[in-house]
Homo-oligomer: A and B are copies of this chain.
């Protein structure tokens, strides 16, 4: 009964609530790791990052030019150049009255100065008044111009980034500026990846008729690593109860379990019964989306551990697997990683001309698409459908770089209209 299934929005809200609850676990990560800053990109801060001194540490010129008193400079009388400070130096003394101080971008402003005249805005005085400059009339200058006050960005001791911040380039730069040669990070969640299906053979083998190579496990390993998890690929499980029971027992020590395949309505879709046998609590067993409708989300009790094991049964067709990982598993993985960033990530783009596509009533669709992200300035971000032959179409998946969202209530999408895309 498709109408009994939750909508995408309902399922997403359930997953978000579950992830939020994980984030509130009192002792979430007893084991922290300390890593060198060079090894920290992609990790998640387990400690707040604090300023070791004021940022900036001194009143700092943002321009090459002359530090001055704004009131003196704005009457356009020649002012003596009393000294000079390069970046890395400290001014030898305060700014004497009726004078300016030559200064470089990034250098400390001498005491007494309240503004910096840009180099481009001064004129040197004539020969009679050597080593004097004046602000070019009719320009005037206000106190504070071209200076960032000491501590304007942060005060020594301020918490600059909370624990839970993922470390990308800008956060690494801030950590470096604050003297963190190493940082405490949360351990990466261990994500068990279990592909199921009698038809699956390993990548290196030659499939017999009726067989296909296992592409979901390598794909999920990439997605898991990109989302901050440590992939743990289990041996493929055959479509029988004892194989599934053994695989689930093996996965019990993981932080998250991803199962692909075996969740449809068929006679040999044995994943749900196997999960039920070990006491699974199911949050949903299908979502009104395409592809990915049979997605299962739940968690398994784990009496010895402080918390249960969340799992996703992802449909085995690879486009479904990828979409449902991004929509549902990624937010739970981020929460397990202690990462406060929210997933999934959507953006807006224009639908390319002649790319109209009829909607499918009652289902939110996430179709393989290619977005031209607007590298050429004249072209705004524009997205096209990648032709596909259904959710098994790996070729279409490999030619796409996002998924185009067709809302449940859309009748059709107009070329040129604004659409949502699910970012990888």
**Residues of chain A at the chain B interface (Cβ within 8 Å):** 8-9, 12-13, 16, 37-38, 41, 53, 55-58, 60, 62-64, 85-90, 102, 104-108, 119-120, 148, 152-154, 160-161, 165, 168-174, 176-181, 197-200, 203-204, 206-216, 218-223, 225-226, 239, 264-269, 316-318, 322, 331, 341-350, 371-378, 380-381, 389-401, 418, 420-421, 423-424
Contact = CB atoms under 8 A, between A and B. Distances in A.
A222 B41 contact: yes
A265 B119 contact: yes
Given A107-B199, A177-B212, 20 more contacts: A58-B209, A58-B210, A62-B391, A64-B264, A87-B268, A88-B199, A89-B210, A106-B316, A108-B210, A119-B266, A148-B392, A153-B389, A169-B226, A170-B322, A173-B218, A176-B215, A345-B374, A347-B421, A347-B423, A374-B420
Contacts of A268: 86-87, 104
B87 A199 contact: yes
A203 B37 contact: yes
Given A170-B400, A218-B172, A378 B9 contact: yes
How many copies of this kind of chain does the complex include? 2
A177 B57 CA distance: 56
Given A58-B209, A172-B219, A218-B37, A399 B347 contact: no
A345 to B, nearest CB: 4
B64 A394 contact: no
B56 A215 contact: no
B88 A394 contact: no
Given A90-B209, A173-B398, A267 B104 contact: yes
7 contacts: A104-B266, A173-B215, A179-B203, A181-B203, A345-B374, A346-B373, A423-B423
A421 B205 CA distance: 45
Contacts of A199: 86-89, 106-107
Contacts of A399: 161
A381 B423 CA distance: 11
A306 to B, nearest CB: 27
A264 to B, nearest CB: 5
Contact of A375 (B160, B267, B344, B372): B344
A152 B119 CA distance: 67
A373 to B, nearest CB: 4
A394 B152 contact: no
Most B Cβ at <10 Å: residue of A8, A62, A120, A209: A209
A88 B344 contact: no
**Pairs of residues from A and B, 8 with the lowest C-beta to C-beta distance, nearest first:** A64-B266, A88-B198, A88-B199, A347-B347, A173-B219, A342-B375, A345-B373, A346-B374
Contact of A392 (B38, B106, B171): B106
